[in-house]
């Protein structure tokens, strides 16, 4: 099954409930929450109070993407705020294996993200222990950037690594520059959780934008 995870970074922050509900009406079964600290990435987005406030309006999976240094410091807080899945960057911690264990000890799913400049091979020792791998297809920090084509190659490598490790159920997420024009080749490369910010929340209404994705997923 292919999942759509609209990134609320591109939503109207004064109307998050409205925009989340609109995306869900279009079939989105995840909601992607980008947390940025102004240190790991050159931008500051939202934090715990906002995450807590939107939780009751999310019907599916609250998918929290932590773009913060030493994410271990905040795992418990984000789990308490209602995250179903927390993704940490391998570049943001010295102890990725411990961070994954900590997320699991909190009773939720764990994802590990890699930046465009990080090779897939670093995932080999931990792929058996994670629920999701996130392949960044832009440099994290901002919405609305262009998809980096080499991410397709990396998705194929992650899929092959997952198969080798006997993890056919691995969630493989892609984040950045996903549009209706490139989504089919992204899925063909192995992604099964598609993050989409500007292509869901910009332009037409979020319900019809999300529905265009989810109707395409249903046909594949
Ligand atoms: C980038 C974020 C993304 C971003 C995606 O740092 O992790 O989730 O919001 O936005 P689009 O889909 O507009 O590239
Ligand atoms: Zn993200």
State yes or no: is 77 an active-site residue: no
C-alpha distances in Å from residue 86, one per residue of 65, 104, 106, 179, 183: 6, 10, 10, 24, 23
Does the annotation count 34 as an active-site position?
A: yes
Helices (H), 26-106: 48-54, 75-80, 96-105
- The protein residue whose alpha carbon is closest to atom 9 in ligand 1 is 143
The angle at the Cα of 28, spanning 106 to 140, to the nearest 5 degrees, equals 65
pLDDT one-digit tens code per residue, 64-84? 999 999 999 999 999 999 999
Among the bound ligands, the one closest to the CA of 42: 1
CA 185 to centroid of ligand 1, rounded, Å: 18
pTM: 0.98
Question: What's the 39 CA to ligand 1 centre distance in angstroms?
Answer: 17
Decide: 175 in ligand 1 pocket, CB within 6 A: yes
| Alpha-carbon span 179 to 186, nearest angstrom | 10
| 52 close to 26: Cβ distance less than 8 angstroms | no
Tokens representing 60 are 């599916």
* DSSP reduced 3-state for 30: strand
Binding-site residue positions for a divalent metal cation: 32, 34, 65, 175
Under 8 Å CB-to-CB from 138, ≥6 apart: which residues? 116, 145, 146, 147, 148, 175, 176, 177
What is the 7 CA–ligand 2 centroid distance (Å)?
7
Nearest ligand, measured from the Cα of 63: 2
Which residue's CA is the closest to the ligand 1 atom numbered 7?
140
| Catalytic site residue from 19, 29, 34, 63 | 34
61 to 4, 10, 26: CA distances (angstroms): 10, 18, 15
Contact criterion met (CB below 8 Å) for 115 and 91: yes
Residues 186-208: what's their mean pLDDT? Answer: 96
178 Cβ below 6 A of ligand 1: yes
| pLDDT bracket for residue 204 (50, 70, 90) | confident
Tens of pLDDT along 97-129? 999 999 999 999 999 999 999 999 999 999 999
Q: Of 163, 172, 90, 74, which Cα lies nearest the Cα of 123?
A: 90
Does ligand 1 come within 6 angstroms of the Cβ of 16?
no
- Work out the number of other CB atoms within 10 angstroms of the CB of residue 124: 12
The band of 203, judged by pLDDT with boundaries at 50, 70 and 90, is confident
Cβ atoms of 127 and 150 closer than 8 Å: no
Residue 90 DSSP SS3: helix
Centre of ligand 1 to C-alpha 180, Å, is 15
How do residues 128-171 score in pLDDT, each as one tens digit? 999 999 999 999 999 999 999 999 999 999 999 999 999 999 99
Which ligand has the minimum distance to the alpha carbon of residue 213? 1
């Amino acid at each position: 099954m292919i999942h759509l995870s609209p990134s609320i970074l591109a939503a109207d922050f004064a109307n998050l409930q409205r925009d989340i509900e609109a995306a869900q009406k279009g079939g989105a079964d995840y909601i992607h929450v980008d947390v940025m600290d102004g240190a790991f990435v050159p931008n500051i987005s939202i934090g715990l109070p906002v995450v807590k406030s939107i939780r009751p309006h999310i019907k599916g999976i609250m998918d929290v993407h932590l773009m913060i240094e030493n994410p271990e410091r905040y795992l418990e807080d984000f789990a308490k705020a209602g995250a179903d899945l927390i993704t940490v960057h391998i570049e943001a911690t010295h102890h990725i294996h411990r961070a994954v264990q900590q997320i699991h000890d909190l009773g939720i799913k764990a994802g590990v993200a890699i930046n465009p400049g990080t090779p897939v091979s670093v995932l080999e020792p931990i792929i058996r222990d994670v629920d999701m791998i996130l392949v960044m297809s832009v440099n994290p920090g901002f919405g609305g950037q262009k998809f980096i084509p080499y991410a397709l190659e990396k998705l194929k490598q992650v899929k092959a690594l997952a198969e080798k490790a006997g993890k056919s159920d691995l969630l493989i997420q892609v984040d950045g520059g996903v549009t209706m024009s490139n989504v089919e080749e992204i899925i063909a490369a192995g992604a099964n959780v598609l993050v989409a910010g500007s292509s869901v929340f910009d332009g037409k209404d979020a319900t019809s934008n999300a529905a265009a994705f989810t109707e395409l997923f249903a046909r594949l």
